[in-house]
């Protein structure tokens, strides 16, 4: 129960080293997008990669080649979905959520806050984290697709708005 053999320990060390090094190599080859801030699909792939690594390490019935194939498959699928979401708006809509407006021009948007399970105090916290002392200085607060909260300060500029892809829900 506590110890079976040195051979088993050696296998875990060797397979662990090789599979970990291979995973790092695969992730480097797949590009920065694989390691970017996560949407739901990215989170699933990350959890699956961790689970696969653990299985390779601890399950003697899984060969290193099978584990590396699983890594390549998961990373390949993530790359393919990311590529498709860049090249197809339909695919992008299926994979990624839309940013949601939480506060706009002096008012909290209660329907969006409750839909996203965000409290007003969390919006205030996000403003403070960006050095903003008053919501009078804020044009909008957006819950981004990766879960971050962006605070957009009021601007006198009439240039293109960063809110162009954010829908305004009515309270």
pLDDT per residue as tens digits for the range 56-71: 888 989 888 998 999 9
Token pair recorded at residue 57: 């390490």
SS3 32: helix
Of residues 43 and 154, which shows the higher confidence score?
Answer: 154
Report, as an integer, the average pLDDT of 144-154.
Answer: 87
- Interval 111-148: pLDDT, tens: 999 988 999 999 999 999 999 999 999 999 999 877 88
Of 73-77, 80-84, 111-115, 162-166, where does mean pLDDT reach its minimum? 162-166
Q: Are 140 and 103 in contact (CB under 8 A)?
A: yes
Query: Over the chain, what is the mean pLDDT?
Result: 84
Instruction: Give dist(CA 95, CA 42) in Å, integer.
Output: 10
Report, as an integer, the average pLDDT of 74-92.
Answer: 86
Task: Tell the burial category of 144 from Cβ atoms under 10 Å away from its Cβ (0-12, 13-18, 19+).
Answer: middle
Q: Residue 158 — very low, low, confident or very high, per pLDDT cuts 50/70/90? A: low
Q: Residue 75 — very low, low, confident or very high, per pLDDT cuts 50/70/90? A: confident
Instruction: Give dist(CA 105, CA 156) in Å, integer.
Output: 14
Of residues 115 and 42, which shows the higher confidence score?
Answer: 115
Token pair recorded at residue 88: 């197809």
Q: What is the pLDDT of residue 160?
A: 58
Report, as an integer, the average pLDDT of 37-55.
Answer: 81
Query: 130: Cβ–Cβ under 8 A, 6 or more apart, which residues?
Result: 151
Q: Which helix (H) or strand (E) holds 170?
A: none
Q: Residue 51 — very low, low, confident or very high, per pLDDT cuts 50/70/90? A: very high
Report, as an integer, the average pLDDT of 2-30.
Answer: 83
Q: Which domains does the chain have, with CATH numbers?
A: 6-94 (no CATH), 98-155 (3.30.240.20)
């Amino acid at each position: 129960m506590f110890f079976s053999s040195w051979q088993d320990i050696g296998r875990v060390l060797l397979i662990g080293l090789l599979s970990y090094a291979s995973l790092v190599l695969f992730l480097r080859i797949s590009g920065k997008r694989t390691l970017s801030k996560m949407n739901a699909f990215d989170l699933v792939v990350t959890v699956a990669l961790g689970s696969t690594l653990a299985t390779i390490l601890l399950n003697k019935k899984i060969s290193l080649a099978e584990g590396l194939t699983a890594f390549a498959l998961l990373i390949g699928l993530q790359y393919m979905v990311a590529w498709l979401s860049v090249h197809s708006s339909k695919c992008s809509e299926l994979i990624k959520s839309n940013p949601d407006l939480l506060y706009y021009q002096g008012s909290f948007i209660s329907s969006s806050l409750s839909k996203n399970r965000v409290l007003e105090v969390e919006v205030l916290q996000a403003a403070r984290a960006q050095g903003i002392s008053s919501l009078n200085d804020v044009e909008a607060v957006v819950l981004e697709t990766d879960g971050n909260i962006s605070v957009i300060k009021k601007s006198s500029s009439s240039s293109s708005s960063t809110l162009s892809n954010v829908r305004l829900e009515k309270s």
